[in-house]
């Protein structure tokens, strides 16, 4: 299970839903594994406003991963500023697109090939490539333990807990 998923999961019990302690779930005795995933900076950009930064910091601490910066980064921090790599990209865009002279297309191409910063690459590595393979997730409210096996968490509740 990706850390990305972990930052969004809450306890499945109905009685826990209104309690603030039911989020985030606390991982215990976790085994981590790195599974490479294609880098997608546009997805990160769309995701960033939804990410709960304090939670991510708590999770990193629980896993013993290197600490994150204290404040959530701005959207612009995910990409290098156009001045730095702009000239080089222009050449690339022209080289790839060849004779396509339509301005809109070129502009769009530039937007997409804006180079991602080191921060974006680190975030991608943390959120999408680091996965929890084995372990348990504990709800801070009711103390229910959700087992994680082979990267799949078991969120089935017995009938008396629903």
Partner 1 sequence: MSRPEDILPPDLYYDDPTSKKYTSNSRIQNIQASMTHRALALLNLTEPSLILDVGSGSGLSGAILSAVPPEQGGPHTWIGMDISASMLAVALERDVEGDMLLADAGQGVPFRPGTFDAAISISAVQWLCNAESSVESAPGRLKRFFEGLYASLRRGGRAVCQFYPRDDKQKKMVSDAAIKAGFGAGLLEDGGGTKQVKVYLVLTVGESGDITGIVAGMDGVDVEDHRKRRNKKGERPNKRDEIIRRKHRMEGKGKVVKATTKYTGRKRRIAF
Site residues (vs partner 1, CB under 8 A): 1-2, 4-5, 8-12, 14, 17, 23, 37-38, 40, 42-43, 46-47, 50, 52, 112, 128, 150-157, 159, 162
CA dist 148 and 5 (Å) reads 13
At its nearest, how many Å lie between partner 1 and the CB of residue 86? 21
Backbone angles phi, psi at 27, to 5 degrees: -75, 135
Give the 3-state secondary structure of residue 141.
coil
At its nearest, how many Å lie between partner 1 and the CB of residue 63? 16
CA dist 101 and 128 (Å) reads 36
Q: Indicate the residue among 87 and 102 with the shorter CB distance to partner 1.
A: 102
CB 5 within 8 A of CB 128: no
Q: Indicate the residue among 96 and 112 with the shorter CB distance to partner 1.
A: 112
At its nearest, how many Å lie between partner 1 and the CB of residue 113? 11
């Amino acid at each position: 299970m990706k850390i990305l998923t972990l930052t969004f999961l809450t306890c499945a019990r109905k009685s826990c839903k209104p309690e603030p302690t039911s989020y985030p779930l606390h991982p215990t005795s976790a085994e981590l594994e790195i599974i490479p995933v294609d880098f997608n900076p546009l997805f990160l950009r769309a995701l960033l406003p939804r990410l709960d930064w304090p939670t991510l910091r708590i999770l990193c601490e629980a896993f013993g991963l290197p600490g994150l910066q204290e404040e959530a980064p701005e959207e612009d921090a995910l990409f290098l500023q156009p001045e730095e790599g702009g000239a080089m990209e222009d050449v690339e865009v022209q080289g790839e697109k060849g004779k396509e002279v339509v301005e809109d297309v070129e502009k769009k191409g530039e937007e997409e090939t804006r180079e991602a910063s080191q921060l974006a690459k680190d975030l991608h590595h943390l959120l999408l490539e680091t996965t929890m393979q084995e372990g348990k997730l504990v709800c801070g409210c009711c103390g229910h333990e959700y087992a994680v096996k082979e990267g799949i968490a078991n969120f089935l509740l017995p009938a008396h807990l629903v």
